[in-house]
Amino acid sequence: MNPDRPVFLDLARIRFPVGAVASIGHRISGVLLALVLPFAVWFLQLSLRSDSISIETGGFFRLAALLLAWAGAHHLFAGVRHLLMDVGIGASLPAARASAYAVLIAAAAVGLAAFFL
């Protein structure tokens, strides 16, 4: 790489196309889901070995539910979008931009639903 090449990294002025936002969201949600895997296995163990399970409803748990529901939904929707593009569906730029908006909005809706329900 040429060390003298121009570098423009003014984050406040770089425009992120909606596809890039959906893409980085896919990564962030994926890392988040990977990080909670130990809790998932722990919960599996609890669910198979306990006589009863009570769900916490405090503020912290609502925020955790929002974050996890958003991460799961975003990763799922963005993943389906990628799989469809792999087989050539929705790979044109206008379709890809439209589906990226759909993924962002649907995942946010699932997250909010998890917070309020």
Which residues of the shown chain bind other proteins in the complex (CB under 8 A)? 27, 30-31, 33-34, 37-38, 41, 44-45, 47-53, 76, 79-80, 83, 86
Q: In the complex, what is the shortest distance from the CB of residue 93 to other proteins, in angstroms, rounded to a whole number?
A: 23
CB closer to other proteins, 2 vs 50? 50
Burial class (CB in 10 A: 0-12, 13-18, 19+), 42: exposed
**What is the full DSSP assignment across 32-71?**
HHHHTHHHHHHHHHHHHH-S------SHHHHHHHHHHHHH
CB closer to other proteins, 50 vs 60? 50
Q: In the complex, what is the shortest distance from the CB of residue 112 to other proteins, in angstroms, rounded to a whole number?
A: 18
